[in-house]
Amino acid sequence: MNIIVPVVIMAIIGGILGLVLAIASKKFFVKVDPRTDMVLEALPGANCGACGFAGCAAYAEAIVEKGAPIDLCAPGAGGVVAAVADIMGLSANAKEPNFAIVRCDGDGVRPRFQYAGVQTCKAATVMGLAGSFQDCPYGCLGLGSCVEVCPFGAIELNENNVAIINEDVCAGCGKCIDACPRNLIRLDPESRVIVVRCNNKDKGATANKQCNHACIACGKCVRECPFDAIHIENNLAVIDYGKCKLCGKCVKVCPKHLIVNLRAERKERREARLKDEK
């Protein structure tokens, strides 16, 4: 059997297909800016989505191709801003890092029964049990949904099953905010060190029955503040950070010890962690 003809035909077909592919590759070639890879390398690779993009690669492309702001990476903070600014030839204005804050002390919450359902805060809320297995309808549920979603391992539950943040690890990505069905977690700048660790909006007598550390709207913090920076809103002490000078007087007079100085808290936790590591 003469195989020359089929071989020749296949060679011609292969040549034609190769020519078509060559033409197509030139016609549809998309030039990739080398700075995209450089920016991607400068990003932390967390792919947490805090920047508003699908991941670090998408953010890097948006910076180079679409002029997206270079200061959207919460995990990278100032270091990433400086590196990306150098790559893009822009001025670097480092952002103050943000940390997640849990607005619940929780140590005094009185449980009603042991919850045995699906162990997520959202599941308990959807099933209508969130308000029944503990007295406080505003506090941390302690089922760890925020712990599960944190890509940096910055959240843990303490001995009272209340979420606490390890600020040395927290990158301020905000994923825990969406995971909390009670909206207890917020992002605060590092310099905002005085916070109210309570979210209970019931009247004082009711709140006091629900939790030993609940705000009872007594107003002592309001009267003590020399800068008119704290007020009672919906039965809860609220700080106006535009006026707050971080004097700490409200911390000292709060009878429920729920207004706290985060700087002091962070120091205590760091010292405790170092002690445990020894």
Co-location of 266 and 238 in the same domain: yes
Closest CA to 182 of 231, 126, 234, 236: 126
- What pTM does this model have? 0.71
| Confidence at residue 212, expressed as pLDDT on a 0 to 100 scale | 86
Over residues 65-118, the pLDDT tens digits come to 888 888 888 887 778 888 888 898 887 776 777 889 999 987 756 666 676 777
Co-location of 133 and 195 in the same domain? yes
25 falls within a domain: no
In a domain, 267, yes or no: yes
Q: Are residues 51 and 133 in the same domain?
A: no
Same domain flag for 178 and 44: no
For CA atoms 212, 217, 223, 228, the dihedral sign is: positive
Instruction: Tell me the CATH number at 236.
Output: 3.30.70.20
CA distances from 13 to 8, 17, 25, 203, 219 (A): 9, 6, 18, 83, 87
In a domain, 4, yes or no: no
Is 3 domain-assigned? Answer: no
CA 44/CA 95 separation, integer angstroms: 16
Q: Residue 94 has what pLDDT?
A: 65
pLDDT value of residue 29: 54
Question: Are 118 and 63 contained in the same domain?
Answer: no
- Structural domain boundaries, residue 114: 98-277
Q: Which two tokens stand for residue 236?
A: 């809860």
The CATH number of whichever domain residue 39 belongs to comes to 1.10.15.40
What stretches in the chain show pLDDT beneath 50?
none
Q: Does 47 share its domain with 166? A: no
The token duo for 99 is 């940390």
Question: Rounded to an integer, what distance in angstroms lies between the CA atom of residue 62 and that of residue 188?
Answer: 26
- Domain identity same for 241 and 269: yes
pLDDT of residue 110: 63
- Does 58 map to a domain? yes
Total tally of structural domains belonging to the chain: 2
Is residue 117 located within the same domain as residue 237? yes
- List, as own/partner pairs, every contact residues 244-249 make where C-beta atoms lie below 8 angstroms and the sequence separation is at least 24, other chains included: 244/194, 246/193, 246/194, 248/194, 249/224, 249/225
